[in-house]
Structure 1
Amino acid sequence: MALTDSREAGSIRRRSLLVGGAALGASGFALGGTGCARVPSGDALARLRSQRTVRLGIAGEVPYGYIDEQGAFTGEAPELAKVVFKRLGIDRVQPVATGFGSLIPGLNAQQFDVVSAGMYIKKERCAQVLFSDPEYQMLDSFIVRKGNPLGLRSYDDAVRKRARLATGTGYAQIGYAVAAGYPEKDIVILQDQVAGLNAVESGRVDVFAGTALTAREVVKKSSRAEATEAFAAVVDGKEQIDGGGFAFRLTDGDLRDAFNAEIHKMKRSGELFRILRRFGFTESEMTTLTAEELCR
């Protein structure tokens, strides 16, 4: 997910979470509380197997992890989590909806067991949590008006043409725009890509920056906006290819390693792509990158 720590204090949720939060009990997954259960001490995997439930922190961003209009808990990361944790002997998954900026603090405060939100693996975050190897890699894209009248195809273009640029709360695109020379104070911060599409369509901004996946998905039903070709942001002369993964507490290396082993099997068999493509991912967005590489 295209999010960065510079604005992670925000806790805005998608509209679907407001609907879904009241409907979790009917979503078809066991939601019973586990925080006060007596469980044996020991490694995290044994503890979760004993509890038979894993709590997943999600932030309500389509298509990464969210609760849909019918109150169903879904998204590429939660759907992947359901498969992996079942194979690890943990049958039930419990979604815990929170603002993106609360995901890592909530994980470390034991409000949930794993962050299941397609979170970008960044060096700053790697000091706070353990990441699985990424399930996907991602480039950026712009939402622009039909025909792309300003010819915006990169952050440099947005700077040079003084475009009115917007992006989402906590998105990594904030940092990418600033690295290209766009004044941070001039970036319009919106709730999510849906708000970004509305702002472009109404002419309030010229461009909304997001991931290639979210941009191309959100414009599908628009007759007034389009997504640009995917491109790599450039920071300090280096192209940025981001990868998203699951986050675990620093003390839960056994759980992360077991999770990784299953992810690698699914990559080799093609099962991982079969899950992710339902949410708009393409084969080019599958990856062999590792968390170790991205943490560097």
Structure 2
Amino acid sequence: MNRPHLKSLASAFLLGIAGSLICAPAHAGSTKDRLLAEKSVTIGIHNRVPWGYRDQSGNVIGLQPSIIRAALAPLGITDIKFVIGEFNTMIPGLLANRFDMTAAGVAITPSRCKAVIFSEPDLTSGDGLLVAAGNPLKIHSFEDIKNNPKVRLAGARGSANAGHAITAGVPESQMQQFQDVQSMVSALVAKRVDAVVMSAATIIATMADPNITGIERASPFRALKDAEGNDVALVTAIAFRPEDTDLRDLYNVQLEKLKHTGELEKIILANGFTKDNLPPNKTAEQLCAAPEPKK
């Protein structure tokens, strides 16, 4: 046996390990550090108008992608990758590290605040109903639906809007839950359901589609009231993993700049919303601590 040869091999092996350790890339200590170093971020979207979706050319557009781009561009983070998933997978996907942030119109609710942390609010949008043209069943509130067992209500699975209807007393036996706006609207047009609950903003975007006929927005609409007697409204924001407080804080600094310069308002208006949809004078912390709406 050639022992000098074995010693040479052992030395080379150890040197190889040492070299690989020295050359191993250093990993950022936090998501924020990684994003700033790589100038890249991965965003979860529901592919839903008007929040964040792909247009006919495959480009991702919508309210929250536009806000995120405007907020992160000054930091040099311009490589933005989008991951499409169902709405009810946005928070689980975020927690499973499938993406770094969400841009899916996720509303700030006390229950969601137990799972993720939110940026400061970027939009306010109340509930609304779509019904058949002429509103033959005279549906103007969740109360009207609850009081008429024949009414079939559609809602997006996992959405706060559908949750508001249930909170208002609409029996789950009268509700059908769908994966997306298109399937809900198709069910309404085909008369498989009698009404669809969505955010008012999504209704506006839906009704802007010239290919959709035979339905209308229920007007007036009497909204669910909160514990203080105010109309319940969705207040949306960007969601982050609980450990990414430094990234959330950095994003909030950028978002505040957009508010101060008026750029956020321009983005909101450009995406089909109105000044009524500007974010409220409440912080994410206040909204997380708010009581759930009464039944």
TM range (shorter): 0.7 to 0.9
Give deviations 1:153-187, integer Å, cap 9, x for gaps: 11001112332211122222322222222211220
- RMSD between aligned residues: 2.0
* Kept after mapping to 2: 8 A contact 1:58/1:97: yes
- Out of 217, 220, 223, the position equivalent to 1:227 is 217
- Aligned partner of 1:267: which letter? K
- Give 1:217-256 correspondences, 5 Å limit: 217-220=205-208, 221=210, 222-229=212-219, 231-234=222-225, 238=229, 239-256=231-248
* Kept after mapping to 2: 8 A contact 1:176/1:234: no
- Aligned partner of 1:150: which letter? L
* Kept after mapping to 2: 8 A contact 1:115/1:248: yes
Tell me the distance in 2 between the aligned counterparts of 1:59 and 1:133.
Answer: 20
**Corresponding residue of 2:200:** 212
Q: CA, structure 1 residues 286+237, in 2 after alignment: closer, same or farther (shift >3 Å)?
A: closer
* Kept after mapping to 2: 8 A contact 1:45/1:254: yes
Tell me the distance in 2 between the aligned counterparts of 1:39 and 1:231.
Answer: 56
TM superposition shift of 1:63: 1.0
SS at match of 1:62: coil
Tell me the distance in 1 between the aligned counterparts of 2:213 and 2:52.
Answer: 27
**Corresponding residue of 1:112:** 99
Length, aligned pairs only: 260
Tell me the distance in 2 between the aligned counterparts of 1:38 and 1:250.
Answer: 26
TM superposition shift of 1:72: 0.7
SS at match of 1:213: helix
**Corresponding residue of 2:257:** 265
Give the TM-score taking structure 2 as reference length.
0.82
Tell me the distance in 1 between the aligned counterparts of 2:77 and 2:205.
Answer: 32
TM superposition shift of 1:38: 4.2
Q: Which range is displaced more, 260-269 or 231-240?
A: 231-240
**Corresponding residue of 1:95:** 82
TM superposition shift of 1:191: 2.8
What percentage of residue pairs aligned between the two structures are identical? 34
- Aligned partner of 1:233: which letter? L
TM superposition shift of 1:235: 5.5
- Out of 55, 58, 70, the position equivalent to 1:83 is 70
- Give 1:143-182 correspondences, 5 Å limit: 143-162=130-149, 163-182=151-170
Tell me the distance in 2 between the aligned counterparts of 1:38 and 1:102.
Answer: 32
Tell me the distance in 2 between the aligned counterparts of 1:270 and 1:218.
Answer: 26
Q: CA, structure 1 residues 135+39, in 2 after alignment: closer, same or farther (shift >3 Å)?
A: farther
TM superposition shift of 1:231: 4.7
Tell me the distance in 2 between the aligned counterparts of 1:70 and 1:215.
Answer: 23
Tell me the distance in 1 between the aligned counterparts of 2:159 and 2:261.
Answer: 32
Q: CA, structure 1 residues 272+237, in 2 after alignment: closer, same or farther (shift >3 Å)?
A: closer
* Kept after mapping to 2: 8 A contact 1:140/1:232: yes
Tell me the distance in 1 between the aligned counterparts of 2:173 and 2:25.
Answer: 50
**Corresponding residue of 2:188:** 200
Give deviations 1:200-222, integer Å, cap 9, x for gaps: 22222211111101112212323
Tell me the distance in 1 between the aligned counterparts of 2:206 and 2:185.
Answer: 7
- Aligned partner of 1:276: which letter? I
Q: Which range is displaced more, 116-125 or 97-106?
A: 97-106
- Aligned partner of 1:291: which letter? A
Q: Which range is displaced more, 78-87 or 236-245?
A: 236-245
**Corresponding residue of 1:31:** none
Q: CA, structure 1 residues 235+261, in 2 after alignment: closer, same or farther (shift >3 Å)?
A: same
- Give 1:177-188 correspondences, 5 Å limit: 177-188=165-176
Structure 2, unmatched stretches of 5+, are 1-23, 290-295
* Kept after mapping to 2: 8 A contact 1:60/1:66: yes
Q: CA, structure 1 residues 158+270, in 2 after alignment: closer, same or farther (shift >3 Å)?
A: same
**Corresponding residue of 2:293:** none
Alignment of 1:189 with 2:177, yes or no, is yes
- Give 1:58-69 correspondences, 5 Å limit: 58-69=45-56
